[in-house]
Chain A
Amino acid sequence: MGKTMNLTLKVWRQKNAQSKGRLETYELQGVDADASFLEMLDILNTQLEKRGEEPVAFEHDCREGICGSCGAVVNGQAHGPMRETTLCQLHMRHFNDGDTLVIEPWRSRAFPLIKDLVVDRSAFDHVIRAGGYITMRTGSAPDAHAIPVDKEEADVAMDAAQCIGCGACVAACPNGSAMLFVASKVSHLAHLPQGRVEANRRVLNMVAQMDREGFGNCSNHYECEAACPKAISVEHIAKMNREHLRAALKPTGS
């Protein structure tokens, strides 16, 4: 065991979308500084369960920063104060003994609250469904080496493709915009020759769906980039803007 700390937690508790939520205060003693943020919440939940109270609902799965399940706003910051870090990879050593931590769910109209810190991010699936793929059938692919891909382009595509779909970009955006999420997929596929073929259709459909889901517009605050655990650059948003402009200006039938 490393050093331990005492914390005051103010956690958003809300039974469901219909009921009213509020911050509940909990005192937590002796948390190991080497514990992750989610392990700290586990400790809280064990104590709550032992007292016969309902544990705090929060999403989590891989706990190694790749599945994109977890996420909460800690003291007003999505995924907490560390850059390029999901909540599960945030360790308590980055906080101080005696700190008060206010823990809230992602807030955005497009992410309706389900319970406590759990929100519904299915809007992301709807956007991908609208075009976040390459139309091809299993088994129809040519040899992998049939089309060489510029290494630098492939690297940029990979930068964008790293998105884990956690939703921190939306949570951190003052406008509740999903531009970084959508742009990461648009940019990933637009940088590859395989994805270029239907790039116009893709960007138009995905942006249209993004708007239908009720996400906000981009005002270039770039809070999304700062919140992104994979440090996906707003450069990809510029790419999407460019792709969309090109697609929108392309005359029908040409």
Chain B
Amino acid sequence: MRLDSKVPAGPIEQKWTQHKFEMKLVNPANRRKYTVLVVGTGLAGASAAATLGELGYNVKAFCIQDTPRRAHSIAAQGGINAAKNYQNDGDSIYRLFYDTVKGGDYRSREASVYRLAELSVDIIDQCVAQGVPFAREYGGLLDNRSFGGAQVSRTFYARGQTGQQLLLGAYSALMKEVQNGSVTLYPRREMLELVVVDGRARGIVVRNLLTGAFESHVADAVLLATGGYGNVYYLSTNAKASNATAIWRAHRKGAYFANPCFTQIHPTCIPVHGDYQSKLTLMSESLRNDGRIWVPKDPDDPRHPNEIPEEDRSYYLEETYPAFGNLVPRDVASRKAKDQCDKGRGVGSTRMAVYLDFRDAIERLGRETIEARYGNLFQMYQRIVDEDPFTQPMMIYPAVHYTMGGLWVDYNLMSNLPGLFVAGEANFSDHGANRLGASALMQGLADGYFIVPYTVADYLARVQPDRLDGAHAEFRAAENAVSDRTRRLLSIKGKRTVDEIHRELGLLAWDKIGMSRNRKGLEEALSEIPAIREEFWRNLIVAGENEDLNQSLEKAGRVADFLELAELMAFDALHREESCGGHFREEYQTPEGEAQRNDEQFAYAAAWEHQGDGQAPVLHKEELTFEVVTPTQRSYK
């Protein structure tokens, strides 16, 4: 089946404006009659819930944390892109659009990306009016920086805590609506099932994480804004509670999962140091603006990095990519670091790291400037590694960071299930096969503040608010299903903890569905993952009970879903016989070792339909047509 992306007709600059006009509106007096569930309160969820609340809909917002303000958007450091062209350096909506399509290696939907670029300017206005304390210049106007390889300075930032400040802005808007009574907050709730009635998404079942109660919530539309699935890999820069359960449960109920193999590896993370390690810490890639990446030419160079002279260092990115140097896109920077380590040139005790050196930048700009730019990152590094980046090079290594894949959505951010909307990292849109730096925040807020409120209204205007009861058979069945599953997890009483099995899955995923993939590895993954899954359901130990705060039980449910999703990722990666963006298949590379796309065969988004346990998923293609930007081989030489 070909998927209908519902992209409006007309020139790309006009599509969204025209579409906004053509969409239906809901009479203000009737809005209270419609209930919208928003699952997740990160940038996308909080901004959508707040805006829908302002418009007068009856909104219920759910989050797994104790408060919406802790959603993982908070950890984004670097900044948010917007085509304001405040720097007069040639930026424009078109350029941001172009860069995003190109950066995504031509695997994104043009019309959606153009709209994202278009909305980026409104986001900055919105956030400033909310009181987000962006960095400013002495004249009182906003400061920008260049970020992650962009050749214009379009990134707005709030020290190294841009995600935090944007999230707190969205959170404050959300709390304003909670105070106004239009949004009801349900913290410490985990969505465990989507309820579909007569082909429409009509509600969810959540587990109250304090009491273990399974609660049904009925609605006219459901919005999932539950983030990405990077924690499949166990070690990632995601928060510990970040999980795929909401989208995976929706997928099992019929929502298509698009491009699951498009995962992004972030090049500047603090290397792994021990097997007890619970997560990886990212440092903003703005570090690459001034830091120089190198490894010793001699893999066995025993000297301290400070004592290795210039001629014995290999600045491999600068050598290979003279134009972009250390600012090549994330996927390239990551893969090249892995190459170096695979060749035995890695540094540090695990030999799984490369140097990121600020010596020259400190010499050129002075310690003070470097401190002003990266002080908090240096401090973070020193705290974890116990070494001072001012006096010796940092060590970095790539880590799983973001997932471009997610539930398939059309131009209205609605999945193939009517009434099920998906926003932010949870959907597959906009970033194609690789996301540019400082674009995740932009997408989350564009979806939540400016797209979903319109498109959800359009959907609601076409359906009648009816009084479905929580006692409806589908809700009863969903409650029973989650209850059974929970009891099953508790009754295994085996020998291995959730973390142990999750770690095993993570290692496998990192090795075989990680930064670079090949047929053999993917086939192995496909045979090994079911074995781990079997081990999980046979030998898991979860202490405690359901009717209580039980963090092991929560984790167990999430890992159970990761164990299914990982298989789909491998399946997708195997089927996509090309390299593009974050998906690098070793069989498909140019003679220079660059990703070799296959536009003839794979210029589509792969949306997978679940067929039941043990059944191969069915592929649906959304063909990607490029009417404005002509796909070219990405080259950063």
Contact = CB atoms under 8 A, between A and B. Distances in A.
Interface of A: 1, 15-16, 32, 34-36, 38-39, 42-43, 46, 48-50, 52-55, 57, 59-69, 85, 89, 91, 93, 114-115, 118, 120-122, 124-125, 128-130, 132-145, 147-151, 154-155, 157-158, 161-162, 164-165, 188-189, 192, 194-195
A75 to B, nearest CB: 20
A93 B383 CA distance: 10
Contacts of A158: 133, 135, 158-159, 165
Contacts of A135: 176
A68 B70 contact: yes
Given A50-B541, A89-B383, A151-B136, A188 B75 contact: no
A149 B164 contact: no
B175 A141 contact: no
A158 B548 CA distance: 39
A78 B19 CA distance: 53
A133 B128 contact: no
Contacts of B69: 68, 125, 128, 165
B164 A164 contact: yes
Interface of B: 47, 50-51, 54, 65-70, 72, 74-75, 84, 86, 122, 124-131, 133-142, 158-159, 161, 164-165, 168, 171-173, 175-176, 178-179, 185, 187, 210, 239-241, 273-274, 276-279, 281-282, 380, 383-384, 386, 449-450, 453, 495, 497, 499-500, 541, 543-544, 548-549, 551-552
A93 B75 CA distance: 25
Nearest to A128: B175
A133 B175 contact: yes
B549 A114 contact: yes
Contacts of A140: 129
B457 to A, nearest CB: 13
A34 B543 contact: no
A64 B380 contact: yes
A94 B384 CA distance: 11
Contacts of A155: 133
Contact of A157 (B72, B75, B133, B551): B133
Given A61-B239, A91-B386, A144-B128, 12 more contacts: A61-B65, A62-B239, A65-B380, A66-B164, A129-B176, A136-B130, A138-B453, A143-B125, A144-B84, A158-B133, A158-B159, A161-B165
Contact of A34 (B86, B159, B274, B380): B274
Contacts of B131: 133-134, 157, 188-189, 192, 194-195
B172 A91 contact: no
Contacts of B384: 36, 89, 91
20 contacts: A54-B543, A62-B74, A62-B239, A63-B240, A63-B278, A64-B380, A66-B161, A67-B65, A114-B549, A122-B66, A128-B172, A133-B131, A134-B129, A140-B129, A141-B128, A149-B140, A154-B134, A157-B133, A165-B69, A194-B130
Nearest to B129: A141
B142 A145 contact: yes
Given A62-B74, A66-B75, A138-B51, A1 B274 contact: yes
A128 B552 CA distance: 31
A94 to B, nearest CB: 10
Contacts of A115: 548-549
